[in-house]
Amino acid sequence: MSAAPPVPLLIPPPSDGPVLVGFSGGLDSTVLLHRLLRAGESGAHGLRAVHVNHGLHADADAWAKHCAAVCDALGVPLDIVRVTVEDRGHGPEAAAREARYGVFAPRVPAAGCLALGHHRDDQAETVLLRALRASGPDGLAGMPATRRFGRGWLWRPFLDTPRAALRAYAQVHDLRWIDDPSNDCDAADRNFLRNRVLPLLRTRWPGADAALSTTAALQRETVDLLEGADATALADARTLQADVLRLDRLCAEPAARRARVLRRWLAALGLPPLPREGVRWLDSALEARLDRAPRFDWAGCRLQRWRDLLHAAPIRAPLPAGLALAWTASAPLVLPGGDRLLLDGPVDAAPAWRVHARRGGERIALPGRAHTHALKHVLQVLEIPPWVRTRLPLLSDPQGRLLAAGDLVFDRDFDAWLRAGGRRLVWEMAPRPGERTIA
């Protein structure tokens, strides 16, 4: 009597909605697709698959055809999406992963799951790799079995299953899969761990993979305990602007908590992870004089302290110093960087206004005041932060009289003209690339 075929266990799904499988055609995703069909884990609206063709290998198109054939045989609908992989300095692996997840996110069904074939060996590699990169508890927690993703969830059903069990299952069921030859190249750090380091560890410690996976589970328990207090501390430091924190509240926390809150905040803003030097920078910036605005730049983004505030955002160029645009207010004026000036309300005759950048020395006659005031001083009194001032457009009449600084400061006669006609000058600041709204 032959032994029963091995059946890899499935970690329970986080929802009973429809399931989308990220299908590369490799061993892991092939077993996952087959196993989900056998288990009836198709959700309320069936099982679908998506294959991302990165176009990085000569056989990429052949792999896409293989995936189409497999899904056709199993009766699973498949989307094949070709992407262009752009390496933004984090390496080809990270770039390809970013491209894949960019395809997956909008396709995850509402309240459904994106199922990926990561297994226990992958988890062991992740923990070891992050330990060698001096990661803290969040990194050593490895990959979560489930997490929120897109409109639904990301689900890794095989995260407790060794790869050997997946291979045995595939052989018993005579499954066909793709072997990517790039996995045999040790140039990538993960491949070096997979091909050289972990096999050596297993000769001495046969349970190395299980031990590393357990380490991840224990660290995730630690992270779960920390995150509640992190969220409370971040909420306490927030302002009405998602990209600005109150430093007095942030600095009331211990240094270790402060670093965790900082990283949580940046992740919520959709900004890249802050390097260790950035956390150290904050400690030194706290000691800077209040009339300074120290800043730290990384990966195209900037942290900047100003008074008792901390601002984080992608770096945006200030208005060009020589900017001088004619504007009749008949239509919105688009400024460099994407900001807009518009006049809401009736205009009796087309004005001949000029929009320009600050050059220094500007003065403005404020409503209710008999004398002019230095614009620089007015902005300081209004506590306009430097990340706003660098983009501030000025509006002048043909004689050079300053009428407005954005929609923040108005000349007294211009203010009276706006009010008399029920008009409103609006300065719309363009959203940052990838900006998120935070509740």
Do 331 and 273 belong together in one domain? Answer: no
Residue ending a domain, among 287, 314, 341, is: 314
Q: Can you tell me whether residue 6 is helix, strand or coil?
A: coil
Say whether pLDDT at 54 is over 60: yes
Tell me which of 269, 289, 314 is where a domain ends. 314
Confirm whether 12 is domain-assigned: no
Residue 263: inside a domain, yes or no?
A: yes
Q: Does 174 count as an annotated binding residue? A: no
Same domain, yes or no, for 308 and 328?
A: no
Same domain flag for 365 and 384:
yes
pLDDT tens per residue across span 270-326: 898 888 899 889 888 777 666 677 899 998 999 999 989 999 999 988 999 999 999
CA pair distance 145, 154, nearest whole angstrom: 8
- Angle between helix axes 163-172 and 27-39 (nearest 10 degrees) is 70
Neighbours of 193 (CB within 10 A): 19
Q: Are 78 and 170 part of one and the same domain?
A: yes
What average pLDDT does this structure show over 380-385?
93
Task: Give per-residue pLDDT as tens, 204-261.
Answer: 999 999 999 999 999 999 999 999 999 999 999 999 999 999 999 998 999 899 999 9
Beta bridge partners of 361: none
Residue 438's pLDDT band, with cuts at 50, 70 and 90, is very low
Last residue of one domain, picked from the residues 314, 341, 365: 314
Q: Annotated binding residue at 26?
A: yes
Are 70 and 128 contained in the same domain? yes
The three-state DSSP-derived secondary structure of 235-277 is: HHHECCCCCEEEHHHHHCCCHHHHHHHHHHHHHHCCCCCCCHH
Least confident among 13-27, 28-42, 257-271 = 28-42
Q: Establish if 436 belongs to a structural domain.
A: no
Half-sphere exposure of 430 (CA within 13 A, CB side): 16
Same domain flag for 44 and 109: yes
Whether residues 403 and 304 fall in one domain: no
Tell me whether residue 227 is in a domain.
no
**pLDDT for the residue 437:** 34
What does the pLDDT average to over 126-153? 93
What burial letters (b/e) apply to 141-158, b meaning 16+ CB within 10 Å?
bbbebbeebbebbbbbbb
What percentage of the chain carries pLDDT values higher than 90? 70
346 and 261, same structural domain?
Answer: no
Same domain? For 193 and 74 the reply is yes
Same domain, 164 and 253: no
The two counts, helices (H) then strands (E), for the chain are 15, 20
375 is in an annotated binding site: no
Distance CA 159, CA 248 (A): 42
Rounded to the nearest integer, the mean pLDDT of the chain is 89
Number of domains in the chain: 3
Question: Would you state the pLDDT for residue 1?
Answer: 41
Range(s) of the domain holding residue 360: 324-428
Determine if residue 36 is labeled as part of a ligand binding site: no
Whether residue 79 is found in the same domain as residue 185: yes
- Check which CATH number belongs to the domain holding 245 and give it: 3.30.465.60
Q: Same domain, yes or no, for 265 and 353?
A: no
Asked if pLDDT for residue 432 goes beyond 70, the answer is no
Within a domain: 5 = no
| CA 213 – CA 210 distance, rounded (Å) | 5
Of the two residues 288 and 155, the one the predictor is more confident about is 155
Give the global pTM. 0.75
User: Residue 226 domain-assigned?
Assistant: no
Residue 8 sits at φ, ψ, to 5 deg, of -60, 135
Q: Any idea what the CATH number is for the domain that residue 183 is in? A: 3.40.50.620
Residue 335 has pLDDT above 50, yes or no: yes
Residue 225 lies inside a defined structural domain of this protein:
no
The answer on whether 344 is annotated among ligand-binding residues is no
More confident of the two residues 415 and 347: 415
Tell me whether strands 244-246 and 309-314 are parallel, antiparallel or unpaired: antiparallel
Say if residue 27 carries a ligand binding annotation.
yes
Residue 2 is assigned to a structural domain of this protein: no
